Amino acid sequence: MLLRRQSPSRPRRRRTATVLATALAVALVPLIAAPAQAAAPVDLGPNTIVFDPSQPIEQIQATVDAIATQQVPAHFGQGRYALLFKPGTYGTPEQPLRFEVGYFTEVAGLGQDPGDVVINGAIEVYNQCLPVPEGADPNCIALVNFWRSLSNLTIQYAAGDADGCRSSANFWAVSQAAPMRRVNVTGANVSLMDYCTAGPQYASGGFIADSTLPFVVSGSQQQFLVRNGSVAGWSNSVWNQVFAGVQGAPATNFSPVVGEPKYTTLDTTPASKEKPYLYVDDAGKYQVFVPAAQKNSAGATWAAGSTPGKSLPLSKFFVAKPGDSASRINTALALGKNVLFTPGVYHVNKTLNVLWPNQVVLGLGLATIIPDNGVVAMQTLDVPGIDIAGIMFDAGTKNSPALLQLGTKLSTLDGKHKKPLLSSANNPTAVQDVFFRIGGEDVGKATQSLVVNTNQTIIDHTWAWRADHGTGVGWDINTAETGVLVNGNDVTATGLFSEHYQKYNVIWNGERGKTIMFQNELPYDAPDQASWQHDGVNGWAAYKVGDKVKVHEGWGMGAYIYTNVNPTLHLSRAYEVPVTPGVKLHNVLTVSLNAAGTIDHVVNDTGDPVTPTFAGPSTVLEWPVP
């Protein structure tokens, strides 16, 4: 999302495997030293700050404020931080703990359940008021509030000395890649829009899961997914608000009328697996909890007791720190260790290989992996139960064929069996809060970002982003064809965000796929139509379902065009799908932003155009059209 948007009426925007693994383990043992076990306290790296309720609140406040001062403006900075709170209560109504969350900052409780850590105060994200020419209108927005997270705690809202407007809600004015998970808020509304600054106050999120929230002000949020939780109420919708398994969610109302609500509500989520998380047990030892997969679920997993799943002691993890080599990390993986990436930036000159069933790769503080020499940053074998979460993959300067690849071509063969041997619906591979960036901080290149070959995979919140602003940005500079390529069968995506790729943003070749909430912006920077077309078709669809697919379903899907380099460009269709009864789309839309670019049709040759003079949205409520 770029720093813009203008609308006269609406805010806008922007698994054999065991043998191989054993052989690799034997071969790689000499590469890693065998140091004695580290003594307590556990070393979670220089950029992890662990708070204890016995600390003076003034000390905690000063620390979180210093991190915020550094990170709130650090859009493309190198800093990565995890602010972790041990079980207990922090702040009081009279002396609350209130602070902002900046870029590349994770705030999380270290209890097993959200009620184990209580913050009296507020944890917030506000608009950024960006510089403008003298005399120009203000540009205070949340459109670029990316790459941060909040999880596993309770906020008992306390205003303290906040001014009148700031005392009205806990503000979480975010855009993409800024998830809220396992959060309970009481004492005030939650506002996903910051209405306390100058305008235009636009926002473009977003993702909330496994949370219980009070009344939520959606405000200017262009699109949002709330999954498996509860809300006391919800106001506003702009283009695409989606709810799955959320108690209290508004009923489906996807009006084709411009300006009227665009809600898509599913009673349950067909397949889900909550993100693993670090916690401290009653004995004071660190564990990683791995939630169990769920089917057809609703509500927060912890609402009626602790979340189902299993705990893994930290001794079963290799705790990686910035500077650790790919060889060292690979040795740990080959030996069957899980990996916990502490906050920082990791350059890898070899592909990281996740080899064993049920291995967990978990990042803290949006730990970032950059592939050097054009390697694939990370790949997995064809085994069930792998979980990769909380990682950002940032493309290197030499083109990588992919950044993260789940499974191999064996998965494609396995998918032809009625009972697959290499994957499991009851123990699926999952990725949660895994993000991809092509350019922005520096030149980046990757043909594809996420490739999913493993059947039964759950994609729970990903943002694949070819940068539209920053450093190393341009049609021939940060090159990337496709954000997400799904070849596996029975894959479910909840919160699928893919933007600005130069060909198809999403290609889905697997059978029986499901997408619940999709958001896309097409590339801004194609210089001319000849550069952005194929086979006599203008542009490349945002979402492509393979021509041979028989069964596929999607709910709440939005694609937007903004071709600011050449506003005359056309896209023939936003969604390109085979015409067959088993391929179904519900509540899909297109929008033209800022009078730049035209989408001629919504699905195939169906749906009205959006143009520089009619921004839309243009909707198709059901495909095939009844």
Residues 6+ apart with CB under 8 A from 403: 371, 376, 377, 378, 393, 395, 436, 446, 448, 449, 450
Sign of CA dihedral 478, 481, 486, 492: positive
Q: Please give the structure tokens belonging to residue 547.
A: 């021509």
Assess contact for 449 and 502: CB atoms under 8 A: no
Residue 571: how many other CB atoms lie within 10 Å: 27
Cis ω on the peptide bond leading into residue 617 (within 30° of 0)?
A: yes
Q: Please give the structure tokens belonging to residue 23.
A: 């052989």
Report which residue type is found at 66. Answer: A
313: helix, coil or strand?
strand
Q: DSSP code of 172? A: B
Q: Please give the structure tokens belonging to residue 364.
A: 């803290």
521 counts as catalytic: yes
Q: Please give the structure tokens belonging to residue 455.
A: 């059947």
Pick the catalytic residue from 441, 521, 576, 622: 521
Residues 6+ apart with CB under 8 A from 139: 3, 129, 130, 131, 132, 200
Identify the bridge partners of residue 583 per DSSP, sorted by sequence position.
552
Tell which residue, 18, 144, 104, 32, has the closest CA to residue 341: 104
* Element containing residue 417 per DSSP (H, E): none
* Element containing residue 66 per DSSP (H, E): helix 57-71
Rounded to the nearest 10 degrees, how much is the dihedral formed by the CA atoms of 418, 420, 426, 428? -130
Tell which residue, 492, 314, 460, 464, has the closest CA to residue 389: 460
57: helix, coil or strand?
helix
C-alpha distances out from residue 342 to 105, 159, 231, 321, 376, Å? 12, 33, 33, 6, 21
Catalytic sites, residue numbers = 521
